[in-house]
Amino acid sequence: MTDVGRHPRIKLHTLSEVVDVKGYVGNFDVRILKKARYVDEKECTACGDCAEVCPVVRPDEFNLGLSSRKAIFSPFPQAVPSAYVVNINECLGHNPSVCAKCIDACDKGCINFHMSDQEIVESVGSIVVATGLEPYDPKELDEYGYTRFENVLTSLEFERLINAGGPTKGEVLRPTDRKRPRSIGFIQCVGSRSAKKGGNYCSNVCCMNTVKGTLMLKEHYPDIDIKVFYIDIRAFGKGFEELYTRSRRLGVHYLRGLPGTVEEDPDRSLRVAVENTATGKLEIHHLDMLVLALGIKPASSTQKLQEMLGLQLTPDGFFLEAHPKLQPVDAATRGVFYAGCAEGPKDIKESVTQASAAAARAIRLMHKGEITSEPITSQVITEHCKSCGKCAEVCPYNAITVDVKKKIPAEVNAAACAGCGTCAAECPFGAIIMNHFTDPQILNQVEALLEEEPKEKILAFACNWCSYAGADFAGVSRLQYPPNVRLIRTMCSGRVDEKFIWEGFEKGAPVILVSGCHIGDCHYIDANHWTEKRIKKIHKKMEKSGIRPERLQLEWISAAEGIRFARVMERMEALRQSVTEEEIAETIEILKNRKK
């Protein structure tokens, strides 16, 4: 930890959050909001004189409220940077100074109430997301009595109690009477592996964390009675099974079955009712203290970052990697990598392994000092351009410049263009060519698929990042769906031009699906907003010309939604069956006349 603070190549911003990211792989501009510490980070020696005189006493978050701290405090003894910090919302006031005792106490004059939040802009070539985890909040699982009984602790609270650096200096004491408990129970899978509450995934670390806790307890107090209530003990890592057998050998009682209820006895100890699934019998256990092995949830900042960087999430809410086996630390967005629990629950060893992998992947990207850009960008045919400005308006990257007043034709900055193709779809004059996804290329696919028996087929457009990936996920999961679906891949649903739809219907398509990333998840910032608008427009036109608008569907399907993809295809098939041959013929007639 201290190495990070003193490494000449690492610039550390604490109390800081990323608020905006612009740019693309190789050249990101990052805006960071650095909150004021009110203590000079470099000058502070962490002597603690300020905290001694501070009159405000608050629960210490680091010890989960098991001890107290002042309004000016050091987060924990080994903190990096080793400087105090003022919680300004708790401070009695400094403007005008009503207290200011700390200012007088600090000989070095490090405390400065005039500090203000700063906005910092940094340029980087790659980004590693290592936002960690949030422990599961067991309040909703109240059959275990966490909110009702003081002697029910979370695994993190227990961790602070048994920690030599914790509030009790490693002495395990019952919160109610501050006596050493004679018996302790651990309940596993709190917030994990449950379809009802918490996550339905395994949190990976809680089994071994409990095993570790039992070993520490037995080391401190060999005669303590320990019971562990579990579904399975997952000791799958190197050296893990040994620790588990050691724990059993030391007399820790592992009992298969999760408790149904926990009640309190008059002496404040706990009465745990559990069905022992090994014997099939209902058992009542009396325990002095109970520890809930909390599961791991995604960090609260996950959603915000996901939107900012255009990343994807798994249904559990963790970041989704580009490929689960071959690119386990890459994001689908080029230049972004994952490390640690941001990507899924993992222990320290795995987090460190993944962190080194992420560093290596970032170096692999950066070491040449230059980057080859994908040539899948748009291009303006200057002579067709009427300088209307529509393309510049829809471009999510501001990559197109056009002077509407002076009638200077549009120009695309290829380096800034990410290749969504929305401009090409929106240009009313056909003046933009989207390389590798040109109109003729896509129209050829439409034609080929509707060449034979068009009435039997479902034409579906899918964006590369979400919906096409969702179809891949349906494949990997072996989900079966109607075999008459034919996908056409575009980079973004924003590329799906109105004329592709008309061409499809004119060639006899009974139904057409346009699918893309969910709103807010678009890989091209917000290009799919234009998809949505365009489809609404087409729906109106369909209605006006007497074509049933339902025959064109818009669906958002994410990369993780294989099941949803299969369901949508089933729905499309039902819809297709509702379209008669007469209806298709009529549509073809309408569209042909429209052209005349």
Partner 1 sequence: MEAIVLKEKQEDVDVPRRIGVYVCHCGLNIAKTVDCPKVAETAAGLDDVVVSKDIGYACSEPGQQQIKDDILEHGLDRVVVASCSPRLHEPTFRQMIQSAGLNPYLFEMANLREQCSWVHMDTPDAATSKAIDLVKMAVSRVRLLQPLKEEILPLTKRTLVIGGGVAGIQTALDLADNGYDVVLVEKRPSVGGTMAQLDKTFPTMDCSI
Rounded-to-integer distance, Cα 181 and Cα 172, Å: 7
Give 475's Cβ-side CA count (13 Å radius). 8
For partner 1, which stretch binds (CB under 8 A), given 279-287, 374-382, 506-514, 526-534? Answer: 374-382
Which CB, 81 or 421, lies closer to partner 1? 81
- Smallest separation (angstroms) from partner 1 to the CB of 440: 5
Per residue in 444-470, is it b (16+ CB within 10 Å) or e — as a string?
ebbeebbeeebbebbbbbbbbbbbbbb
563 binds partner 1 (CB under 8 A): no
Binds partner 1 by CB under 8 A, chosen from 284, 448, 519, 585 = 448
The torsion angles phi and psi of 15, rounded to 5 degrees, stand at: 50, 30
Binds partner 1 by CB under 8 A, chosen from 217, 258, 262, 342 = 342
Helix 155-162 × helix 206-220 angle, to 10°:
30
- Smallest separation (angstroms) from partner 1 to the CB of 70: 14
For partner 1, which stretch binds (CB under 8 A), given 51-59, 254-262, 443-451, 492-500? Answer: 443-451
Q: Are 136 and 205 in contact (CB under 8 A)?
A: no
Place of tokens 């050493």: 180
Which CB, 126 or 387, lies closer to partner 1? 126
Which CB, 471 or 542, lies closer to partner 1? 471
Rounded-to-integer distance, Cα 380 and Cα 390, Å: 13
Which CB, 12 or 278, lies closer to partner 1? 12
For residue 587, which amino acid is it? T
Instruction: Name which of residues 526 to 545 contact partner 1 (CB under 8 A).
Output: none
- Smallest separation (angstroms) from partner 1 to the CB of 295: 13
- Smallest separation (angstroms) from partner 1 to the CB of 557: 14
The torsion angles phi and psi of 166, rounded to 5 degrees, stand at: -85, -175
Place of tokens 């086996």: 325
102 binds partner 1 (CB under 8 A): no
- Smallest separation (angstroms) from partner 1 to the CB of 415: 6
Task: Quote the Cα angle for 500-533-383, to 5°.
Answer: 55
For partner 1, which stretch binds (CB under 8 A), given 25-33, 172-180, 280-288, 583-591? Answer: 25-33
Per residue in 77-114, is it b (16+ CB within 10 Å) or e — as a string?
eebebebbbbeeeebeebeeeebbebbebbeeebbbbe
216 binds partner 1 (CB under 8 A): yes
Place of tokens 């020696």: 45
Instruction: Name which of residues 228 to 257 contact partner 1 (CB under 8 A).
Output: 237-240, 242-243
Cβ-based neighbours of 46, under 8 Å, separated by 6 or more = 74, 79, 82, 83, 84
Per-residue contact track with partner 1, 32 to 71, x per CB under 8 A? Answer: x----x------------------------x---------
Binds partner 1 by CB under 8 A, chosen from 292, 339, 501, 538 = 339
Per-residue contact track with partner 1, 180 to 209, x per CB under 8 A? Answer: ----------------------------xx
524 binds partner 1 (CB under 8 A): no
Binds partner 1 by CB under 8 A, chosen from 71, 72, 110, 129 = 129
Binds partner 1 by CB under 8 A, chosen from 44, 126, 331, 555 = 126
Which CB, 10 or 195, lies closer to partner 1? 10
Which CB, 276 or 435, lies closer to partner 1? 435
First to last CA, the chain: 73
CB atoms under 10 Å from CB of 236, counted, come to 11
For partner 1, which stretch binds (CB under 8 A), given 120-128, 420-428, 516-524, 544-552? Answer: 120-128
Per residue in 550-588, is it b (16+ CB within 10 Å) or e — as a string?
ebbbbbbbbbbbbebbbbbbeebbebbeebeeeebeebb
Which CB, 132 or 315, lies closer to partner 1? 132
Per residue in 171-202, is it b (16+ CB within 10 Å) or e — as a string?
ebebeeeeeebebbbbbbbbbbbbeebbbebb
Q: What element of type H or E holds 6?
A: helix 2-6
For partner 1, which stretch binds (CB under 8 A), given 50-58, 95-103, 399-407, 465-473? Answer: 465-473
Instruction: Name which of residues 468 to 487 contact partner 1 (CB under 8 A).
Output: 468-469, 471-472, 474-476, 478-481, 483-487
Binds partner 1 by CB under 8 A, chosen from 18, 152, 311, 320 = 18
Handedness of CA 534, 540, 541, 542 (dihedral sign): positive
- Smallest separation (angstroms) from partner 1 to the CB of 210: 10
User: Which residue(s) pair with 554 in the sheet?
Assistant: 514
Task: Quote the Cα angle for 580-581-587, to 5°.
Answer: 95
For partner 1, which stretch binds (CB under 8 A), given 129-137, 267-275, 546-554, 585-593? Answer: 129-137
- Smallest separation (angstroms) from partner 1 to the CB of 340: 3
Binds partner 1 by CB under 8 A, chosen from 119, 143, 447, 550 = 447
DSSP assignment of 498-564 equals: HHHHHHHHHTT-SEEEEEEPPTT--TTTTHHHHHHHHHHHHHHHHHHTT--GGGEEEEE--TT-HHH
- Work out the burial of residue 243: count CB atoms within 10 Å of its CB; fewer than 13 is exposed, 13-18 middle, 19 or more buried: middle
- Smallest separation (angstroms) from partner 1 to the CB of 287: 22
Helix (H, G, I), strand (E, B) or coil at 440: helix
379 binds partner 1 (CB under 8 A): yes
501 binds partner 1 (CB under 8 A): no
Binds partner 1 by CB under 8 A, chosen from 147, 441, 545, 580 = 441
488 binds partner 1 (CB under 8 A): yes
Q: Are 164 and 178 in contact (CB under 8 A)?
A: no
169 binds partner 1 (CB under 8 A): no
DSSP assignment of 482-500 equals: -TTEEEEEESSGGG--HHH
Instruction: Name which of residues 289 to 318 contact partner 1 (CB under 8 A).
Output: 299, 301, 305
Binds partner 1 by CB under 8 A, chosen from 91, 187, 293, 362 = 362
278 binds partner 1 (CB under 8 A): no
